[in-house]
Chain A
Amino acid sequence: MKLASPLLLSAALLCSNAQAEPVKIGELNSYKTFPAFLEPYKKGWQLALEEINAAGGVNGRALEVVSREDGGNPGEAVRVAEELITRERVSLLMGTFASHVGLAVSNLAARRKVVFIAAEPLTDKIVWENGNRYTFRLRPSTYMQVAMLVPEAARLQKRRWAIVYPNYEYGQSATASFKKLLSAAQPGVEFVAEQAPALGKIDAGAVVQALADARPDAIFSSLFAADLQKFVREGNIRGLFRGTAVFNLLAGEPEYLDTLKDETPPGWWVTGYPWKQIDAPEHRAFLETYRARWQDYPRLGSVVGYAALYTAANALRKAGSTDSEKLVAALEGLRMRTPFGPIEYRALDHQSTMGAYVGQLAQRDGEGVMVNWRFADGARFMPADAKVRALRKD
């Protein structure tokens, strides 16, 4: 009998699993266009999926993720999302990376009345101007991340600021938010130069020279990936950063920081993810299981993927159903735990209060690290509710 009971138990489990069809979640992302961020992201949600199913799934049913490549463009992403909705009959959608793809899928989700958890897109519009009933966003938005850096920027009391940003919506709205928030926090601040190189094609030498010509006291940058690396190397060689304070969105994320190695410019203020140093128990648990599962350390994308799938699972649990309207009701105000601590999906604009780590860059043994960092809780860096209501049309 002692031998038989585990067998019986697993047989019973198998039967119950077979009877209850798994809950399908449709996931789509630009895996081939942004592999550096999205391969860790995929490992993140895969880990979450294994954990959730090992713990018995949701509402007595196993979870299944149907993952698709969205080709990195909105037209294809909409077709893929249609396929997930109509052919795979998924209960909800999650994913997307670039803002324009996220907005297109969000718009389709509203049209088809399917819940969409936008995991990664940073654009403010997805929860504000173009926000809709069925779309929820996990990551801290461009606005929130800018707002996290502004207190430090204002504290330094630098007068002359130069700005450099990639020439598309993310860079433009980061720049606009920064100018607005800093001008409010530090009246009399001057913006002496602005450079908007094409995304992925910065002519770093010329841009660094043009910024240096403006003799700024401080620089605000929203460059990332290859543009950031080119900018940092040219700036280091040409001495742009000596005696100049630099603030750079996202530059502390391992995806972008780890490639800089011995070029890492010390003293920069950044938002990011110092995974080695975070001691909070919820993060330590995540770090250990992630490393055990993948023999690799997590990137920010890993946390986003992990938390996005848990968002889906928690919403399904709270709703007790796969009905879209019940899922919307469950997600509005949903509180849950993540490796970054507790978050809440605001009923007001469907933005989660997930935060980010704000700190300074430094070099240790030829590697870039974040120092003097603190966790910035997303809930504290939102505009006033009335402003958000005015922006949202629903």
Chain B
Amino acid sequence: MARTPSTGNAHLGASSQSAAPSRHRSSARVIHDLMPYLAILPTLVTFLVLLGYPVALLFATSLQKFGIYELINHVTTWIGLQNYYEVLFQSPQGLPDFATVLFRTVAFMLVNVVLTIVGGTLIALLLERLNKWVRLILTSSMVLAWAMPAVTGAVLFQWLFDSKLGVVNWAISSLGIFGNYLNHDWFTTGFTTFGIVTLLIVWQAIPFIAFSLYAGILSIPKELPEAARVDGASEGQIFRHITLPALGPLLMMLVFLSVIWDFKVFTQVYAMAQGGPDEQTITLSVYSYIVGISEGKFGYAAAASVVMLLLLLIVLVPYIRRMIKSLEGL
């Protein structure tokens, strides 16, 4: 994080140097050279100042004993890496240790990303083939799911899966195929609780992925698949050899975004079960919330999120580089 801005600046500096020898040229030329930097300037300011300053404060507080007392009374107490030590090695307070939480978070993230991307791709392909009315119905339904506030979504899913009054248990039992599910409790094991959280997340995340990919599919010139079809290619071949390569960079980006979102996801997981049953659904973000924010240990919470951020960076930077390369190739 600390490195990126400086390299960005270095490049900016280099560019103004390269503009220097061209002083004899017309000023229009200089303006032309500067144009891209002027265009990205507002974004640079946003990221380096508006976002950069709070992120720097996050680092700073992660090195402090910083709680409600320190915040209200404007006290600063530096304690070095103690918060980091506690996050990594002293998993406090009867909570699962850091490695467990991390493993769980990564597994949960992978399941969600795979389901979201596969589901989103299938829906996008489906959208292309539907007739006008069914497509409007499906897109409107997806917008509804997407637009629902996360907290409302969590409450609603708790309700749908309620052991006594839930419509899901009633429906399963009425079908009669799987036996009697009346009074079945979905929230007694971490596995089924995660299952319902996953369903909620996928339900809300697929619309965005599907819309993006659908827009991507629409931008593929129609002539290509049609020509392939005339040549006798199967739908599977068309997908593999035309659609997929054309969507490649977009898919890479969507995977990247989904990884970040599902790794950090908090509201749905916490609102559904508050980490229960038996702390089995405590993911990294829930962990930093429970230990940090709800106890007012902001410094500790900051350290936990810095660790989370660093892990994301370590894992994703190679991926980002490859993604940028594939974007450049376009």
Do chains A and B interact in one complex?
no
